[in-house]
Amino acid sequence: MDNKIKIKLFGNLSELANTQEIWIDFKTTFFELRDELFLQFPLLVNKEFVFAINQKITHENVIINQNAEIALLPPFSGG
């Protein structure tokens, strides 16, 4: 998809969004992409999860490549 980027969802996030992957408009930095995600999927706002960018947990702002693999990882607690 042109100018879109795929985001994979895990755990209760995929339940919330009713799908295991979503597509949003591509942005060149992580924080802009995060804002775009919250704009398009407001139900994710205030949910607990971390971003994995290219299989790496990312907290700080970084430049994003359009081929980047992005996943949202919620905490699990069951045992």
Partner 1 sequence: MNLRFHRQTILPNYGEAAQQKLLNSKVLVIGAGGLGCPCLQYLVSSGIGLIGIVDGDIIDMSNLQRQILFTTNDIGKNKAVTAKEKLKDIHPSTEINSFSFFLDGKNAKEIISKYDVVIDCTDDFNTRYLINDVCVELSKPLIFGANYQFEGQVAVFKMDDTKINLRDIFPTPPKQAMRCEEAGAMGAVLGILGSVQALETIKLITQQQDFLYNEILYLNVIKYETVKIKISKKLSDVRSPMLGNTIIDLNVEEFIEKINNPLVQLIDVRNETELPKVDFKCTQIPLTTLKENIHLLNKEKEIVLFCHAGIRSLEAAERLQDEFDFQQVSHLKGGIVKYFSMK
CA–CA gap between residue 79 and residue 74 (Å, rounded): 16
Q: List C-alpha distances in Å: 52 to 2, 32, 57, 70.
A: 22, 15, 4, 6
CB nearer partner 1, residue 2 or residue 55: 55
Q: Are strands 70-73 and 4-9 parallel, antiparallel or unpaired?
A: parallel
Using CB under 8 A as the binding rule, the residues of this chain from 39 to 78 that contact partner 1 are 47-48, 50, 52, 55-57, 59-62, 71, 73-78
Site string for partner 1, 4-33 (x = CB under 8 A): ----x-xxx----------------x-xx-
Rg value, the chain, Cα = 12
Residues forming the site for partner 1 (CB under 8 A):
8, 10-12, 29, 31-32, 35, 47-48, 50, 52, 55-57, 59-62, 71, 73-79
